[in-house]
Amino acid sequence: MIHEMCRKFADEELAPHAGEWDKKHEFPSAAIAHLTELGLMGINVSDEYGGSDLDALAYAIVMEEISRGCASTGVIVSAHNSLYLFPIDKFGTEEQKQKWITPYTTAQTSTGLPLIGCFGLSEPGNGSDAGAASTTAKRDGDSYIINGTKAWITNAHESSAAVIFATTDKSLKHKGISAFIVPFDAEGFSLGAKEDKLGIRASSTANLIFEEVRIPKENLLGEEGQGFKIAMTTLDGGRIGVAGQGIGIASASIDCAVKYALERNAFGKPIAELQTIQNKISAMVMARDSARLLNWRAATLKDEGKGFTREAAMAKLAGSEAATMCAHQAIQVLGGMGYVSDMPAERYYRDARITEIYEGTSEIQHLVIAGNVLKEYKAAV
Amino acid sequence: MRILVGVKRVLDYNVRARVNAEKTAVDLSNVKMSLNPFCEIAVEEAVRLKEAKKADEVVAVTIGPKKANETLRSALAMGADRGVHIMTDLRTDYMQLQPLAVAKLLQKVTEKEKADLVLVGKQGIDSDCGQVGPMLAGMLNCAQATYAAKIEPSGDGGLTVERETDSGTETIELTSFPAVVSCDLRLNEPRYANIKSIMMAKKKKVEVLKAEEMGVDLEPMTEVLEVYEPPPRKEGIKVASVDELVDKLRNEAAVIP
């Protein structure tokens, strides 16, 4: 029923407007408010903090369907749920959850939107090399003082707070990184300009700038030095969401390509009857379905409390590559029509591209997978 | 006020209906089934009346096989309080169970539940009969309003209903209950069930009854002789002038005098 509801919502409320939102780089407030009402801005959080108490598999399915309608809406929902809410839910104290989760799952009466949160790990100087964080957090009495810049942050312009990672002891390298919750109304905090992106343009992406930002020590998330682990654990779950987003984009691309192929005539018949087109359709569906099953496996393992790092990395890698391949082929099937904004194929192509980059580049996913496999073999000797 | 809402499990409106090889019925094997759109509108209206504190309880009732339970769950997820599932393996798309029998079964439930208001969709999108509402009202010997486009409490305990007719809108007031109202397209736009409601729907009570044990004659009154698809649309022709167009409309298509 949740799957049905999300599918219907995506078809009726997202897909018809996604093109417009993309063109105007417009944050889909009304849709996000509606999604909040439906309980999707707190999917996995407990009922106690205003959430819907659903599992990772439900999250994967929701992400697929929402992203099929609008990939920007997908990333907005995903970053908020798995990158902001999750780490606080998993590593936060009771007080932190009440302060930083409840208002972020519950609609405010004035806007219909909950407060929105984001996740700051990447910096101008390091993305894949997360352990080299140069944002600092210096303990000063009852506070920490944060200095530095975070880059490429999704939801930056709509957020009220962020979970960020800063080093409290550079000599300890990645073991010196700690996680903090920083409210955007803190003095010294500012936002960078919105990036002008190739795709997912309805979501905002910008730098978070910290200049002597003072936060109470109560805003430390988890323990000092635990930051890197918190980031990696968070990304594992987040990858299920991005995989879902990729699968959704792939599905939308397949839908677009197949419908077009059944109507477009060439050489006396619908191009869907040509072997070349059929090969493409088959390849697209293979890629999409494989990624979907990998993702459901990762989500199921997570729900069973088992390790799922390798499986999540595989799902994200497969999902993102399915998205780019299917979107690419959708344009190819549409020909000239795929290159213009009259059809959504060009938007899927632009939206798909980021999925191989954020939340761990494809190259990083390969390293995670291989590292995990090698560890397993070495342990068996 | 207790509202009884009829919900029917029908072929999903997006699915293209295909006739079986024997030409005896629509092929429903492995086909997507959903809540009839007009019934969905009826459920939405019932839930809104409850939210506006004009009703205390909304009971959804469906007639169908085991899978019709899903249809009931959709209604519960939208806000109905509990369900009644009249089990039967008879086809409910007019091929076996027909409107007269359906109305008789609903009469039994209406009386058992002591419903004050019965809301039904104006018609099922599979059979397109539109008969159950009026037949049920006849059997209950009560007031009815069909093709409702607006329902509002009338202030003195009654209901004001705006009916959609081909010649315009007719407004009537229902002053005695029970009453039967059939719901048309423009009555409301059904909500998406939110996650909380979907999860709660699983816990809501559903009473299961057997159609064959309700003391109602379920025999069809009408025999379906043949079911066939409409002929494929013929290609149009191009005409060279307005005169030729008028000539063709008058003499070939015979649509103008």
Q: Is B198 an interface residue toward A (CB < 8 Å)?
A: yes
Half-sphere exposure of A79 (CA within 13 A, CB side): 29
Q: Which of residues 212-251 of A touch B (CB under 8 A)?
A: none
Confidence at residue B156, expressed as pLDDT on a 0 to 100 scale: 84
| Beta-strand relationship, B179-183 and B143-153 | parallel
| Beta-strand relationship, A205-216 and A189-191 | antiparallel
ipTM: 0.82
Neighbours of B153 (CB within 10 A): 15
Q: Give the residue numbers of A marked as catalytic.
A: 359
Element (H, E) at A245: helix A227-263
CB distance B116 to B177 below 8 Å = yes
Q: A52 and B199 in contact by Cβ < 8 A?
A: yes
Burial code (b: 16+ CB inside 10 Å, e: under 16) for A281-307 equals beebbebbebbbebbbbbbbbbbeeee
Segment among A94-98, A195-199, A256-260, B197-201 with least mean pLDDT: B197-201
Overall size of chain B counted in residues: 257
Residue of B nearest to A54 (CA): B195
Residue of A nearest to B71 (CA): A1
Q: Is A9 an interface residue toward B (CB < 8 Å)?
A: yes
pLDDT in tens, A295-319: 999 999 999 999 999 999 999 999 9
In whole angstroms, give the CA distance from residue A70 to residue A77. Answer: 11
pLDDT > 90? residue B67: yes
Nearest to B73 among A1, A39, A53 (CB): A1
Percent of chain A's residues with pLDDT above 70: 100
Q: A54 and B195 in contact by Cβ < 8 A?
A: yes
pLDDT > 90? residue A45: yes
Confidence at residue B155, expressed as pLDDT on a 0 to 100 scale: 83
Q: Is B73 an interface residue toward A (CB < 8 Å)?
A: yes
**Chain A CB contacts of B198 below 8 Å:** 1-2, 5
For helices A227-263 and A71-78, angle between their N-to-C axes, nearest 10 degrees = 160
Confidence at residue B147, expressed as pLDDT on a 0 to 100 scale: 97
CA distance B202 to chain A (A): 11
Task: List CB contacts of A247: < 8 A, sequence separation 6 or more.
Answer: A64, A67, A288, A291, A292, A295, A319, A322, A323
**Chain A CB contacts of B200 below 8 Å:** none
pTM value?
0.90
Confidence at residue A101, expressed as pLDDT on a 0 to 100 scale: 97
Structure letter (DSSP) for residue B66 = T
Q: Which of residues 143-182 of B touch A (CB under 8 A)?
A: none
**Chain A CB contacts of B77 below 8 Å:** 1
3-state secondary structure of B124: coil
Percent of chain B's residues with pLDDT above 70: 100
pLDDT in tens, A87-136: 999 999 999 999 999 999 999 999 999 999 999 999 999 999 988 899 99
CA distance A321 to chain B (A): 31
**Chain B CB contacts of A34 below 8 Å:** 192
**Chain A CB contacts of B195 below 8 Å:** 2, 38-40, 43, 52, 54
pLDDT > 80? residue A381: no
Confidence at residue B108, expressed as pLDDT on a 0 to 100 scale: 97
Confidence at residue B225, expressed as pLDDT on a 0 to 100 scale: 93
Confidence at residue A184, expressed as pLDDT on a 0 to 100 scale: 97
pLDDT in tens, B105-142: 999 999 999 999 999 999 999 999 999 999 999 999 99
Helices (H), B6-128: 37-51, 68-78, 99-113
Residue of A nearest to B77 (CA): A1
Task: List CB contacts of B253: < 8 A, sequence separation 6 or more.
Answer: none
| Beta-strand relationship, A159-167 and A116-120 | parallel
In whole angstroms, give the CA distance from residue A14 to residue B161. Answer: 34
Q: B195 and A2 in contact by Cβ < 8 A?
A: yes
Instruction: Pick the residue of B34, B67, B71, B192 with the most A CBs within 10 A to test the interface with A by mutation.
Output: B192
CB distance A324 to A353 below 8 Å = yes
Calculate ∠ Cα A280-A281-A282, nearest 5°: 90
Task: List CB contacts of A213: < 8 A, sequence separation 6 or more.
Answer: A145, A146, A147, A182, A186, A187, A188, A189
Q: A1 and B74 in contact by Cβ < 8 A?
A: yes
Task: List CB contacts of A363: < 8 A, sequence separation 6 or more.
Answer: A128
Distances (CA, A) of A261 to A280, A300, A361, B60: 11, 35, 33, 43
Task: List CB contacts of B242: < 8 A, sequence separation 6 or more.
Answer: none
Q: B193 and A43 in contact by Cβ < 8 A?
A: no
**Chain B CB contacts of A43 below 8 Å:** 195
pLDDT > 90? residue B58: yes
Confidence at residue B233, expressed as pLDDT on a 0 to 100 scale: 87
pLDDT > 90? residue A340: yes
Q: Is A66 an interface residue toward B (CB < 8 Å)?
A: no
pLDDT in tens, A223-282: 999 999 999 999 999 999 999 999 999 999 999 999 999 999 999 999 999 999 999 999
> For chain A, how big is the Rg over CA atoms in Å?
21
Nearest to B195 among A8, A34, A38 (CB): A38
